[in-house]
Structure 1
Amino acid sequence: MIGAKEVEMTLTQIERSVWETLQADVQRPGSSFRYLNLCSVDHALTPKARIVVLRKVDPKRRSLEFHTDTRSPKWRELTGNPSATVLGYCPETRLQYRFEGHVTLFEPTSDYAVSSWSALPFHTRNTYVGGPPGDELPEPHTTKEILLGNTDSQQGHDRFGVIVFSVALLDWFKLSRESNIRAQFGYDENGEILSRSWVNP
């Protein structure tokens, strides 16, 4: 039988490993947890989900950072309702991370967005050139032609927004043939741990 001290230590190690993995995966383009599913709710209360690229992790404040076009539906959805869920899964480790929390949005003119923009390489800045996300195109290569023709490193800056997601709940899930394992961790508004526990898978 596992004692309380061993369980607490194991939970602590699990929680620490999540944030260490996320922080490392920001620098690894091919890693599973660099591409996460950001889920929001639109004005009609319809759930919406899309893959986003993890740009930055703050383990101390338990926050994740994503970048987006401020003309996108997700920006409008998160403006209307800042509550969100972020989901990630790694097929190699069979680990699922599910985060619940809320977002803070930084407009293109904010100091934080300006600073983040200045650190982006040109090819990434180019993804904000062209029409609004979701608009109809006459043919699939139209956007590519626009990107190839752009030489202005500042074009697209007025559409660049930063999403900072503050985690309130971390649900850690390990898939196993023998027995699935699940744990949950709660955080306060400053990222301090409020609770940690094993839960039924």
Structure 2
Amino acid sequence: MTLIELDKAAWINLERAGTDSGSALRYLNFCTVDRDGHPQARLVVLRAANREDRTIEIHTDIRSAKWREVSANPAVTVLAFDAARGQQLRLRGKAERHGRGSPKAADAWDRLSPWTRSTYTGGPPGESSADVELETASAGGKEGKFVFGVIVFQAFQLDWFQLKRGGNRRAMFLYGSGSELVDAREINP
């Protein structure tokens, strides 16, 4: 594959992962920096990707540490790995928060299933559940709408890596301010 084809295929696979719960790229490592300067990585569910504007969308509880960390420092790395293909996608960029009352959060909430809505009920993420009486989803998780947020990650760089017996391959892709591909080159694995 040419470099242009590699870039296009990577983003097509990310787009598919946003709608295919069985995709190897469905679960991403979302990496931020905490207030003490320590790297923080956690698995998140890829909800949507768009190759035209080089974005990835995830959902979160606005009481979570990642929400606060993105507010303090929007520089984020997203890491995806497809074991069957032996491909790693490491994306660098910035994250933007869309919380309660924003059109993006409202639209995303409206598209969620009742079960997924119910996952936003209960106490704040990371706090002891022994002291929290979990709310039920009997109202379709409506309580969760108040703590639901969307994070949109905008990629500036894709470090594509292929593990392959007989020769690994690696390429770097840089995107401009309009999300256009401005540089693509092979680099040493």
Give the TM bin, normalised by the shorter chain: over 0.9
Question: What is the TM-score with the length of structure 1 in the denominator?
Answer: 0.90
Residue 194 of structure 1 and its aligned partner are, at CA, apart by 1.1
Measured in 1, the distance between the counterparts of 2:56 and 2:12 equals 12
Measured in 2, the distance between the counterparts of 1:186 and 1:64 equals 16
* Pair member with larger Rg: 1
Runs of 4+ in 1 over 2 A off after TM superposition: none
Residue 116 of structure 1 and its aligned partner are, at CA, apart by 1.0
Please give the secondary structure, in 2, of the residue aligned with 1:152: coil
1:118-170 Cα offsets, whole Å, 9 max, x none, are 1111101111100000011229xx87xx36x3212321101000000000000
The reply on whether 1:126 has 2:114 as its aligned counterpart is: no
Name structure 2 gaps, 5 residues minimum: none
Residue 190 of structure 1 and its aligned partner are, at CA, apart by 2.1
The reply on whether 1:50 has 2:34 as its aligned counterpart is: no
Q: Which amino acid aligns with 1:152?
A: A
Residue 32 of structure 1 and its aligned partner are, at CA, apart by 1.3
Partner of 2:109: 117
Number of residue pairs matched by the alignment: 188
More off after superposition, 101-110 vs 19-28: 19-28
Answer yes or no: is the 8 Å Cα contact 2:121–2:144 preserved in 1. yes
Name structure 1 gaps, 5 residues minimum: 1-8
Partner of 2:159: 171
Q: Which amino acid aligns with 2:96?
A: T
Residue 58 of structure 1 and its aligned partner are, at CA, apart by 1.1
Please give the secondary structure, in 1, of the residue aligned with 2:25: helix
Q: Which amino acid aligns with 1:158?
A: F
Partner of 2:137: 150
Question: What is the TM-score with the length of structure 2 in the denominator?
Answer: 0.95
